[in-house]
Amino acid sequence: MSARHRDRIAEHLLALDSQDRYLRFGYAANDTQIRAYVDTLDFQRDVVFGIYNWRLRLVAMAHLAHSVDRSYDACAEFGVSVLPSARGHGYGGKLFARAMLHARNSGVQLMFIHALSENKIMLSIARKAGATVEYDGSEAEAYLRLPAATFETQVTELLEEQLAQADYRLKMQARQFWNLLADMQDVRRGVREGRHRSGS
C-alpha cells in the first residue's frame, strides 16, 4: 500500500471499536489520534500491507515499522488489525508471514511486537512463527530473529506481490461491473416508472 491509500487505512482503523483500538495501539485511541497516526505513516521507510474484500473494503492491515534510529536499522516492529466481520480466516497470520518475508528481504534481523498481555491472538501468531514472548505485567514483547534473505525468499516475495496486485485488480473490475449493473437497473426502473405514469 502507498500514501494514496491513507483514506482507506483511516476508514479501516476508525471502524475498530474501543476494545479493538485498545488492543491494536495499547490504548483506546480516539478518532483524532487515529487520524494523526495515519497522517504520520512514512511510506518511504515503512511498509503497510492490506487485505481487501470483494467490496474493496480494507478488512485487514498490517504495519511493518522500521526503526527511525539508524543504529537499529536491522529491527522492525509489526502491528496488525482485522475487522470483526473478517476474523476467523487467518488474515492476521497471513499478514504476519507476508511482513516477515519482506523484512527478511529488506535486511531486517530482528522483528518484534509490542502488545498487551491480553492480546492472546497476536501473541499466538508470533509464537507460532517462532518468536520469543516475554511478559511484563499487562504488557508483552515478542521477538523473532530472522535468517538472511535468499534467492528463494526474494522470488517468493516478488510472486506474492504480483498475485496481490492481480487480486486487487480482479476485485476492482468486479466492483466496477456490479456498479454498472446497478446503474443499468436504476435506469430501467426509471423508464418503467415513467411509462407507468404516462399511461395512468
- The CA distance from 30 to 173, in Å, is 35
Mean pLDDT is lowest, of 27-31, 87-91, 140-144, 169-173, for: 169-173
Share of the chain above pLDDT 90, in %: 48
Backbone φ and ψ for 41, nearest 5 degrees, come out as: -60, 130
CB 95 within 8 A of CB 48: no
pLDDT one-digit tens code per residue, 149-173: 899 888 888 888 878 777 767 776 7
* Half-sphere exposure in the Cβ direction for 59 (13 Å, CA): 17
List the beta bridge partners of residue 80. 62
Q: Quick one: CA torsion of 25, 15, 65, 6, rounded to 10 degrees? A: -140
Name the CA dihedral angle for 168, 178, 83, 109, rounded to a multiple of 10 degrees.
Answer: 0
pTM: 0.76
Task: Domains for the chain: give ranges and CATH numbers.
Answer: 3-192 (3.40.630.30)
User: What's the gap between Cα 167 and its chain centre?
Assistant: 15
pLDDT (tens digit, 9 = 90+) per residue, 93-126? 999 999 999 999 988 999 989 889 999 888 998 9
